[in-house]
Chain A
Amino acid sequence: MKKRFFLLALPAIGALFSLPVAAQTYAITNARIVTVSGAPIENGTVVVRDGLIESVGANAKAPADAQIFNGSGLTVYPGFIDALTSVGMAAAPARTPGAGGQAAAATAAATAAPTNSNYPNGLQPEQTAAEMLKAGEAQFETNRNAGFTTVVTVGRDGIFNGQSAIINLAGETVSEMVVKSPFAEHISFNTVRGGQYPSSLLGTFSALKQMMLDAQRLQEMQKMYAANPVGMRRPAEDKSLQALIPVLNREVPIVFNANREIEIIRALDLAKQFNLRAIIAGGQEAHKVADRLKAQNVPVLLSLNFPKRTAAASPEADAESLDVLRLRAETPKAAARLQQAGVKFAFQSGGATNVNDFYTNAGMAVENGLAKDAAIRAMTLGAAEILGVENRTGSIEKGKIANLTVVRGDILGKEKTITHVFVDGKLFEQKERPRPAAGSGNNAPSGGTTPANPAAPTAPTAPAIAQVGGNYSITVEVPGQPVAGTLALVQQAAILSGSMQTQLGTSQIKDGKVTAEGFTFSTTVDFGGSTIEIFVKGTVTGNQISGTIDSPQGAVPFSGTKNP
């Protein structure tokens, strides 16, 4: 019970963080310092000045002008890195903006793909996360408050998800936030929307191969033309193909989203065919291909979004397949097996709906055989190495970016509090949460916009409730045929009402509930002449909404953004 309460309360901690303090020099004294680059310092000092780590060590001195924190009982880690997110990315524009009225149309226009590509949306590798990123504090708060200072971010739509950026989670402008852009080109084995080619996995591979060949040719033509333009037609400009040239030249790595063994093999085959610098993201079954990953020197951005059973028990339901049961049992062992095989890996949140699953499941990987320091490495310096920013961040060393996460308790254990987060030397401090007295609890909503109200006593086990109300443009990822729609959610405390609109019509929300984890509701839609019941489960993080829609035809994910 206690464990449960603690986990549920974690999102609420965000409310207690204050905005960055103006002072530029800080010293954390008497703290345990996990530098990652060297041995941990059991009792030492870290000095932060002007965004960088000025000094670190058992004997480091706190300067006179520094604001000093007594770190007694605290552990200082390098700021944690989430090696793949979509933080700050808008979802793909809805295909039927009419459904959401002018606001949705405006959103769609704002996020619409850049024009004059010769390729359909979904096959535009030139799209860059850094250009689409929205700066501002609010949307990074959840992740930062959970202890992350740095993330890789890129959209999730299309076959080419686009070029990712490595960003620090603080800054009023995008240029302040970006650590490296582009980091990599990202590919998902998706299809293109609206029935265009490629509309199946078969076409996805042939389209990718044709584009790679075309990009190779474009580069050759450009070289020929540069050498001697006389008597040769100029090669046509093509910004989509142009964006693939650095990938083909191995200057920019390419991240393949692949979880199953066979998907990883397909990615490795493609990488081999075109001599690409591949990285696997997801990697649930990567340990089954460890030998090949090692041989091709391919690192893994390993998802900590472990599969778990969500379906209720029912005597009428089919028994779950052995494959599914095995996968859930095996996935937490993947990290240890990769470590053993000598495959480089970094942890990523894998689109988990609860940001704190990251630490819980990293802890589970440790329970399943991963060395604890290897787990910490996979969210700090190990990640920075794969991202190619290990000379700037990922460890606590003099001269590196002052990205620090200060923790009371064991970060991989069950009892933990993030007390301070430094991003680029900016301090985000959590006022220590008062220990709940009997009969009172923390009911602060997540998102950190509403202050906690200690005057409202609730039972100690009462979880904080998520705030999910609002209008959202969503995309339901029906395989091969994504469906656009809108969700109008009206929240009154833990009760959810409103409506859902898709091309199948508008339907009213029934049995809507909001918990600390997110929301659930059921509704009915008319499909193929009959009325079917669907069950929707989701979460809201910042302005992002995501979850699954379960129907007799199976479960499909959906995601989207809040309309302003």
Chain B
Amino acid sequence: MKKLTILCLIILILTAISNVSVSAQTARNEVLIRNATVMTAARGTLTETDILIQNGKIARIGKDLKAAANAQIIDATGKFVTPGIIDAHSHTMLDAINEISSSVTSMTNVRDVLNPTDVSIYRALAGGVTTANLLHGSANPIGGQNTVVRYKFGRPVEEFVFPGAPMGIKFALGENPKRIGANPQPGQTPRYPITRMGTMEVIRDAFLRARDYKQSWDEYRAKVAKKDKTAVPPRRNLELEPMVEILEGKRLVHAHGYRSDEHLNLLLIADEFGFKVATLQHALEAYKIAPEIAKRGTGASVFADSWSYKLEAYDSIPYNAAMLWKAGVLVSINSDSDERARRLNLDAAKTMKYGGVPEEEALKMITFNAAKQLGIEKQTGSIEEKKDADIVIWSAHPFSVYAHPEMTMIEGVTYFDRAKDIQKRGDLAREREMLEKMDINKAPGTGGTAPRIPSEKRIEERDEADRTDGGNRR
């Protein structure tokens, strides 16, 4: 018993240490990164440059900067610094991704199902990702509301939510929404739509309903303004409220789709209802309609080099990003995967290989451009004075396959530190050893339920709508 108590005590202390690191740092208000190669993603690359961080903001960028006596000093000689990577399409840290029961699920919001303890957050930080656009899945023509977060792993969930990020919503076109309808899960009834034209009709219908809904509120407000006492407020409709926000230009539409014809159709619906689509997601064939996209100021968030993993991806080409960039489209590259999120730097590098995108423009595709698409470019996405200190320190040029992040910071606080991580692995191994020795964690002597045998591979795609079509991406 006494032994157990001591064990518990040690565990308590260990967990306390591991939890303290992030919270203790939040109090520190000055960090100086010295002598780095700074890839600003806005104003070129600066060599032998210092970055002074005060109260979570980039205070100064220059040479031979001075810091307060108690400042954290990081010698980055021979290292590269970039803005924190922004993943414009992710399902990390979501406890549910698709509300599959209906074709229009604009009432759902991924904010309700964020799970701040998801270890994939830490893995993404280890790949230099600081910010992500967490989207509903692609099962429905109109999916749920998204949330933009910063990966403040170890902090309370409300601190993850990016302050001031514009509201958004997921739309989905093509195979996923129609296949979900046509091939229901066991026990479910087939769902409308089961064709691409049906998908378009569902979207148009939702906007027509939203128009009527908005009108009913406008009429009510007019009555109230006229002091009409018989005015009865319309029922608040959580499905249509976000649709009205789209019509009013207050909510960004992020539309999943592969084929150019249906993305173009969506742009036409947007023209008809007078709003702008913020981003076309995946947009594998966007190069075919680049001028049409550029003309509307719509962004494209694409994969670097995924193609032919399903029929509607056959016309995907690795030059897509470069061609869109040349046509003046705001391009970002996203992961849509916990696993790929860890090496978005290499996906950006591929645009230099395929199509000759300049280095800074390639870096922007995983930083500044994504920030602009999400409406958070004033706070993050580039290394400029007065912006939030969302910063990655790399061991080598980030477009090298040998590079890895050594430190990942959000608002000047370190959330990933490779040296500390390596050090902590020993602590975790010891903690595990102690925990496994406790009676409560021992396997039953005889009998017991069957042990869990590891599955063959980790499921890479979180979006069930992608998973069920005879093959993950790749």
Contacts and interface: CB of A to CB of B under 8 A. Distances in A.
A328 interface: yes
Interface in A261-286: 261-262, 265-266
B238 interface: yes
A128 interface: no
B185 interface: yes
B51 to A, nearest CB: 34
A325 interface: yes
Contact of B113 (A197, A205, A322): A205
A274 to B, nearest CB: 13
B164 interface: no
B12 to A, nearest CB: 9
Interface stretch (B52-60, B217-225, B273-281, B449-457): B449-457
B174 to A, nearest CB: 21
A311 B448 contact: yes
Given A205-B109, A328-B441, A262 B157 contact: yes
Given A201-B113, A312-B449, A322-B428, A231 B230 contact: yes
Interface string B91-129: 000011111111001011110111111000000000000
B13 interface: no
B115 A312 contact: no
A309 B99 contact: no
Contact-size category for A: 35 or more
B435 A325 contact: yes
B184 interface: yes
Nearest to B446: A312
A43 interface: no
B142 to A, nearest CB: 13
Interface residues of B, number: 60
Given A205-B109, A328-B440, A312 B448 contact: yes
Contacts, number: 173
Given A197-B102, A224-B232, A318 B454 contact: yes
B443 A325 contact: no
Interface in B150-194: 156-157, 184-189
Nearest to A317: B451
Given A203-B101, A262-B157, A322-B428, A554 B108 contact: no
A203 B105 contact: yes
A550 interface: yes
Contacts of B105: 197, 202-203, 206
B116 A262 contact: yes
B449 A310 contact: yes
Contacts of A197: 99, 101-102, 105
Contact of A206 (B107, B157, B232, B442): B107
A482 to B, nearest CB: 9
B459 interface: no
Interface in A225-257: 231-232
Contact of A311 (B8, B107, B428, B450): B450
A194 to B, nearest CB: 6
B15 interface: yes
Contacts of A205: 108-109, 112-113
Contacts of B112: 201-202, 205-206, 266
A202 B187 contact: no
Contacts of A323: 117
A210 interface: yes
B431 interface: yes
Contacts of A481: 185-187
Which among A202, A224, A368, A552 has the highest number of chain B CB atoms within 10 Å? A202
A5 interface: no
B471 interface: no
Which among A306, A314, A329 has the highest number of chain B CB atoms within 10 Å? A329
Nearest to B189: A195
Contacts of A201: 95-96, 112-113
Contact of A198 (B97, B99, B114, B441): B99
Nearest to A520: B447
Which among B144, B233, B452 has the highest number of chain A CB atoms within 10 Å? B452
A367 B112 CA distance: 37
A214 interface: yes
A344 B431 CA distance: 31
A414 to B, nearest CB: 13
B444 interface: yes
Given A200-B100, A537-B449, 9 more contacts: A197-B102, A198-B101, A202-B96, A203-B101, A206-B109, A265-B157, A312-B443, A325-B438, A329-B438
8 contacts: A199-B100, A200-B96, A201-B95, A203-B99, A210-B238, A262-B115, A320-B441, A329-B11
Interface of B: 1, 8, 11, 15, 95-102, 105, 107-110, 112-117, 136, 144, 156-157, 184-189, 230, 232-233, 235-238, 428, 431-432, 435-436, 438, 440-444, 447-455
Interface of A: 194-203, 205-206, 209-210, 213-214, 217, 220-221, 224, 231-232, 261-262, 265-266, 306, 308-314, 316-320, 322-323, 325-326, 328-329, 332-333, 367-368, 481, 503, 520, 533, 535, 537, 548, 550, 552, 554-555
